[in-house]
Structures are given as C-alpha cells and as structure tokens.
Amino acid sequence: ALVISSAATVFIMPISNMLIPRLSSYFSLDDISGFKRSIRMLLNIASLVYIPAAMGIAAMSRITLYNFAGRNYTIAYIPIIIIMIATSLFVGSVILASGIKSVRKTRIFLLSSGLALLTNLIFSIVLIPRFSIIGASIAYSSMTVVNFIVIYVYAKKFKISNYDIKTIGKIWGSSLVMFSILFYLQSIFSYSIPLEILYILLGIIIYTLELKLFRIIKPDERDFILT
C-alpha cells in the first residue's frame, strides 16, 4: 500500500524543485507581494495536480490490487485510501516548506521531522496490534498531519502561508466527484485490466471537464506554469 501511495509524490516533486529559486529571488528583492502571490498560485497548482491524482489512485486501488497482486490483497485498498486522503489534505506542506527554505528558516524541519517520527512511533505501537494494516496506514498518515501542522504554524509566523480556500475547495469537490464515480463503477462491473484502463481515461475526462466547468485554472496561474 505504501509503495502505491508513495508513487503519487511523483506528481508534486517537480513543482517543489522549481520553487526555491523563484521564491528566493522574490525574497532577495524584498518583493513580499510577489512572494505571497507565488505561494498562493503554487498552492493552487500543487492541489490541482496532486489531489485528483491521489484521489484517482485511491479510487483505482481496489481494481489495481486485484489485477496485479491478486484477490487476497484487495483489502489493502482501505489503507491506500486513508493515506491518499491524508496526503491530499496536507499537500500544501510541500509548497510551504519550499517557501520556508527560500527565506532560510530551515531549522524548523528538524522539529517537524522529529515530531512526525515520534507521532508515527506512538500511533504504530497503539494501533498496529489492534488494527493491523489499517492501523499502520493511520500511523503513517499521522506523520503527514504533524509535519503539516508544524510547517503551517511557522509559515503563518513568517507570513508565508497564503491559501486560496475557494479554489482548493473546487479542486476537492471535482476530485471527490471523480473518485465517487470511479469507485461506484467498480462495484457494478467485474475487475479486468481493460476496464481499469477505461476507468483511468474516464477519470481524466471527468476531471478535465470539471476544470472547464468550474473554471478552476485562473489565467495568471496558467501563465505562471508556462513561464
């Protein structure tokens, strides 16, 4: 489950890698408005890319496990969904962390990492004996939650955080619609690789249509991506 869920980070790492030089240039020029505007757009872009990808993986986890691992492993779809939801809710930590790095306040990552690992250890000891793989997924997800909380607190302190709640809400709504449709279809039809491919294509089509319908991508964000 962790291998599949960790693969979703591929969608967000390029955004993280391109952030620091651009944000550092704003910081060095003392362009606070440009810095915060970039943070807002990048939070939207990260959500735009990661949330539907993660929810798509969550929706397809059951059929994927059945097709490639076998019937006995399909129960792992539950922890995958738990982890995907957790990482989607707190995907902004990647952007905020890059913002903090760009202003050279990196010591807090020792705190966030330490607390995240400690939380994972405690939750693992408490939950895994009782809930097995589901407990492990909750313990793993707790690291994401704690890491985000620490980073968010310091991002607010350094005036880096700049969430666009309306846009991210639209992204979540669109992603959940896609997730619900794909998950429901799997309860009707049998599992097969051709159907899985069709579901993936359907998910892409649904989300693309929702992007246009709800006008989620703003012109300045599109220009930001292209430049």
User: Mean pLDDT over residues 148-168, rounded?
Assistant: 92
Whether the pLDDT of residue 36 is over 70: the answer is yes
Whether the pLDDT of residue 138 is over 80: the answer is yes
Percent of the chain with pLDDT over 90: 61
Helix axes 32-68, 219-226, angle to 10 degrees: 80
Whether the pLDDT of residue 143 is over 90: the answer is yes
User: Mean pLDDT over residues 13-38, rounded?
Assistant: 64
| Backbone region of residue 164 per phi and psi (left: phi > 0; alpha: psi in -120 to 50; beta: other values) | beta
pLDDT, one tens digit per residue, over 117-134 is: 999 999 999 999 999 999
As a whole number, the mean pLDDT across the chain is 86
User: Mean pLDDT over residues 44-67, rounded?
Assistant: 92
Rounded to 5 degrees, what angle do the CA atoms 162, 166, 168 make? 75
List of E strands, the chain: none
Whether the pLDDT of residue 220 is over 80: the answer is no
Whole-number Å distance between alpha carbons of 145 and 8: 17
Q: What is the pLDDT of residue 159?
A: 85
Inter-residue contact 19 to 39 (CB < 8 Å): no
Q: What is the pLDDT of residue 46?
A: 87
The DSSP line for 51-66 is: HHHHHHHHHHHHHHHH
